[in-house]
A and B are shown apart, each in its own frame.
Chain A
Amino acid sequence: MTYIPHTDADRKAMLEAIGVDSLDDLFDAVPADLRFPELDLPPGLSEMETAWELNGLASANVAANDFALFLGAGAYNHFIPSVVNHILLRGEFYTAYTPYQPELSQGTLQAIFEYQSMMCALTGMEVANASHYDGATSLAEAVIVANAHFRGKRSKIILSPGVNPQYRAVVRTYHQGNDLKFVGDKGSATVPDLVDMLDDDTAMLVVSYPNFFGQIDDLAGLAKSVHDAGALLCMVVDPIALGLFKSPGELGADIVVGEGQPLGIPLSFGGPYLGFFATREKFVRKIAGRIVGETVDADGRRAYVMTLRPREQDIRREKATSNICTNQGLMALAACVYMSVMGKHGLRRAAELCYHKAHYAAQQIDALEGYSVDMSQPFFKEFVVTCPEPVAAINDVLLEHWGIIGGYDLSKDYPARENQMLLAVTEMNTKDEIDTLVEALRSAPDDIANHAHHHHHHS
Chain B
Amino acid sequence: MTDELIVNKNGAPPPLEPLIYDLGAPGRTGAILPKPDVPEADLPADLLRDDLDLPEVSEMDVVRHFLRLSQFNYAIDKGFYPLGSCTMKYNPKLNEDMARLPGFALAHPLQDPSTVQGALALMYQLQEWLAAISGLEAVSLQPAAGAQGEFAGILMIRAYHLANGEAHRTKIIVPDSAHGTNPATTAMTGLEVVEIPSDANGDVDLDKLREVCGEDVAGMMITVPNTLGVFERHIQDIVDIIHGCGGLMYMDGANMNAMLGIAKPGDLGFDVMHYNLHKTFSTPHGGGGPGSGPVAVGDKLLPFLPGPIVTIVDEGDEGEPPLYGLTMPEQSIGALKAFWGNFGMLVRAFTYISINGANGLRAVTDHAVLNANYIRSRLQGTYPMPFERICGHEFVCEGHFKDADGIHALDISKRLMDYGFHPPTNYFPLIVPEALLIEPTETETKEACDAFVEAMLAIAKEAKESPDVLHEAPHVTPVKRVDDVRAAKDLILCCRVIPDWDAEAAK
Contact = CB atoms under 8 A, between A and B. Distances in A.
B289 A331 contact: yes
A177 B189 contact: yes
Given A54-B347, A268-B105, A356-B40, A124 B498 contact: yes
Contact of A317 (B147, B183, B306): B183
Residue among B12, B52, B267, B483 with the highest chain A CB neighbour number at 10 A:
B52
A430 interface: yes
B284 to A, nearest CB: 5
A271 B340 contact: yes
Interface in B225-250: 230-233, 235-236
B147 A270 contact: no
Nearest to B61: A340
Residue in A104, A321, A355, A431 with the greatest tally of chain B CB atoms within 10 Å: A104
A325 B478 CA distance: 26
B15 interface: yes
A349 B262 contact: no
B129 A41 contact: yes
A91 B102 contact: no
B56 A343 contact: yes
A409 B269 CA distance: 44
In this complex, which of A117, A118, A327 has the most chain B Cβ atoms within 10 angstroms of its Cβ?
Answer: A117
A344 B491 contact: no
A340 B55 contact: yes
A2 to B, nearest CB: 5
Residue among A45, A172, A378, A427 with max Cβ neighbours from chain B (10 Å) = A45
B54 A339 contact: yes
A45 B354 contact: yes
Interface stretch (B93-101, B295-303, B461-469): B93-101
A330 B336 CA distance: 21
B355 A50 contact: yes
Given A270-B109, A297-B480, A96 B359 contact: no
A295 B482 contact: yes
A17 B377 contact: yes
Contact of B107 (A242, A268, A392): A268
A56 B43 contact: no
B246 to A, nearest CB: 19
Interface in B96-155: 96-112, 115-119, 121-122, 129, 132-133, 135, 144-148, 150-151, 155
A34 B232 CA distance: 14
Size category, B interface? 35 or more
A3 B92 contact: yes
Interface in A108-130: 108, 110-114, 116-118, 120-122, 124-128, 130
Nearest to A172: B334
Given A26-B370, A34-B263, A41-B357, A344 B66 contact: no
A90 B30 contact: no
B38 A431 contact: yes
Contacts of B235: 31
Interface in B480-507: 480-484, 486-488, 490-496, 498-499, 501, 504-505
B90 interface: yes
Interface string B6-41: 000011111111011100100111110110111111
A344 B56 contact: yes
Interface in B143-195: 144-148, 150-151, 155, 158-159, 179-181, 183-191, 193
A71 B69 contact: no
A345 B56 contact: yes
A342 to B, nearest CB: 5
Given A42-B357, A176-B155, A1 B188 contact: no
B482 A305 contact: yes
Nearest to A105: B73
Given A27-B369, A75-B339, A359-B41, A63 B107 contact: yes
Contacts of B53: 121, 344
B13 to A, nearest CB: 4
Contacts of B86: 97
A44 B364 CA distance: 12
B184 A395 contact: no
A259 interface: yes
A299 B304 CA distance: 55
Contact of B31 (A170, A343, A359): A343
Contacts of B119: 57, 61, 269
A102 B362 CA distance: 35
B312 interface: no
A98 B262 contact: no
Given A167-B338, A355-B41, 10 more contacts: A6-B446, A57-B122, A61-B107, A65-B103, A83-B62, A126-B493, A268-B107, A268-B343, A324-B145, A427-B34
Nearest to A358: B41
A298 B472 CA distance: 9
Interface string A130-143: 11011111000000
A329 interface: yes
16 contacts: A5-B443, A18-B373, A23-B366, A41-B133, A43-B359, A61-B116, A94-B75, A96-B287, A97-B86, A114-B19, A117-B21, A216-B44, A267-B107, A297-B479, A329-B289, A332-B288
Contacts of B77: 91-92, 95
A14 B376 CA distance: 11
A278 to B, nearest CB: 9
